[in-house]
Amino acid sequence: MEGGGQMSHSLRKLLPTLVTFTSLVCAFAAMVMQVHDELTAAGICILVGYVLDALDGEMARRLGVASAFGLQLDSLVDVATFGVAPSVLVYQHMRQLAVLPVVTWVVCAGYLIGGVFRLARFNLLPAKRSRSASVGLPISTSGA
């Protein structure tokens, strides 16, 4: 049955994307939790996003559906999950500790800008080099 094989390929392409989007939902949930001062729950959401981020690319490669689109999508979601959500989490925590507001802003914005810059650089590396040679600290380490 010809249509069955095509449906199977479509499903294989969809699975890693669903995992990536679930990581994005975790980032959103983390930010919502932070609005309600549920910082521990927010941290757990970021950790779940970290696990999902480790799975999506590997899943795409094993299913034979890795693509440039998937890499870009993953990077955009990484900005939310490991850039914005942790920056806001640290901001909320530093605010509770009554750290000087300008210091809080510089620390949180600096982390976010550095993470986005590194992701942009990583995405411009040739595919073989980006896999074998790591430049700087990956933004996803904030989830660990």
Parent domain of 80: 2-143
Query: Which residue's entry shows tokens 């210091």?
Result: 103
- Determine whether 20 is exposed, middle or buried from the number of CB atoms within 10 Å of its CB (0-12, 13-18, 19+): buried
Q: What is the pLDDT of residue 8?
A: 85
Mean pLDDT value across residues 84-112: 94
pLDDT tier for residue 143 given thresholds of 50, 70 and 90: low
Mean pLDDT, range 105-119, rounded to an integer: 94
Distance CA(143)–CA(53), nearest Å, equals: 10
Q: Would you state the pLDDT for residue 6?
A: 61
Structurally, the chain folds into a number of domains equal to 1
Overall average pLDDT of the 101-108 stretch? 95
Of 91 and 8, the structure prediction assigns the larger pLDDT to 91
- Stated length of the chain: 144
% of the chain at pLDDT higher than 90: 69
Encode pLDDT of 52-95 as tens digits.
Answer: 999 999 999 999 999 999 999 999 999 999 999 999 999 999 99
- Cα 107 from Cα 132, distance rounded (Å): 30
pLDDT value for 142: 63
CA–CA distances in Å: residue 84 to residues 1, 11, 109, 113: 46, 30, 9, 10
Q: Are 65 and 13 in contact (CB under 8 A)?
A: yes
Q: Is the pLDDT of residue 127 over 90?
A: no
